[in-house]
Amino acid sequence: MDKLILSNGIEIPPIGLGTYPMYGDTLTNSVISAYKAGFRLIDTADNYYNEKDLGESLAKLYEKTSANRNELFIVTKLSDELYPAGTIGGGANRGIYFWKNSSLMQSPNAVRNIIEQKLSNSLQCLKTDYLDALLMHWPYPDYFEEIWYEMERLYKKGIVRSIGVCNCRERHFEKLKVSSEIFPMINQFETSPLNTKFPLLKYCDDHNVKVMIYSPLKSLQYKNQQEYHEYIRKVSEKYGKNPVQIILRFDIQRGMIPIPKSSNAARLQSNINIFDFSLTDEEMDKLMNFNLDLAYMPESRSCPGL
């Protein structure tokens, strides 16, 4: 399982473990099982409200296995508070941070102070003194460039080994071209054979931005796409793999980093057993041709700046 290389020369694993929404013993068991299966990248965010639980899970991982911090690639994100802790989704954005009309953003150094506070809390919760990647969770329109400037500053200080964004399109990167010193190294968003986002993926590839995929298996839930499922099933039978493995292999061969989530040890092992076969060019093209621009996360007030 070869690692990929970010634009700053840092190695990043080609597949990771998603952790939302997992907490407590479920998260701990998942982290330990994932490590034993071969996962080394773990993804979370400050507004998943599970960083503290993940830190406890990592402590148990180090205690119960030969794992150590340096072999893991830990990713977290700077977020607004989109919904109350303990809930999933929640509709309209609450606008606690990163909006000009928020009472918390009225001091001259609000963005810097909030980001430093958030990072300090993330590090404390995750029981680490550095992050492998810090991502901006959404392109918050009121403070997009200012947030990125502060992330650059943290990167230069060495607290984070790499910085990136989530849910950004070409126009957001073009803004950073003008205002930034350091270009994003990662862009995390949702893509699949039913939503290939080819122009954005080409842009990222042309600018040496690695793509990380959340919810990489969402396309398998669209049961009304009968021809798509039949083809996935046909390819699965050919290689002796399951549909999930075919989708993840598709992502890997496109040079992307999928972060599937599971708390089931057998499923985690299955999810990472995708490096012993390759899809043909014809199979990759056929899967690409199922594109419907079927977005899992539509534009809404919960997706600011998209």
Are 69 and 40 spatial neighbours (Cβ–Cβ below 8 Å)?
no
Radius of gyration of the chain (CA): 19
* Residues designated catalytic: 48
pLDDT, one tens digit per residue, over 148-184 is: 999 999 999 999 999 999 999 999 999 999 999 999 9
- Reported as a single tens digit per residue, the pLDDT across 194-245 is 999 999 999 999 999 999 999 999 999 998 999 999 999 999 999 999 999 9
Distance CA 128, CA 290 (A): 42
Q: How far apart are CA 182 and CA 165, in angstroms?
A: 12
How far is 232 from 211, CA to CA, in rounded Å? 23
- For the chain, domains (ranges, CATH) are 4-288 (3.20.20.100)
d(Cα 53, Cα 66) in Å, to the nearest integer? 20
What is the pLDDT at residue 99?
87
Enumerate residues 6+ apart whose C-beta is below 8 A from 99: 80, 93, 105, 140, 142
| Per-residue pLDDT at 94 exceeds 80 | no
CA distance 222 to 25: 30
Residues 160 and 133: beta-carbon distance below 8 Å? yes
Structure tokens at 31: 């982290």
Indicate the pLDDT class of residue 1, thresholds 50, 70 and 90: confident
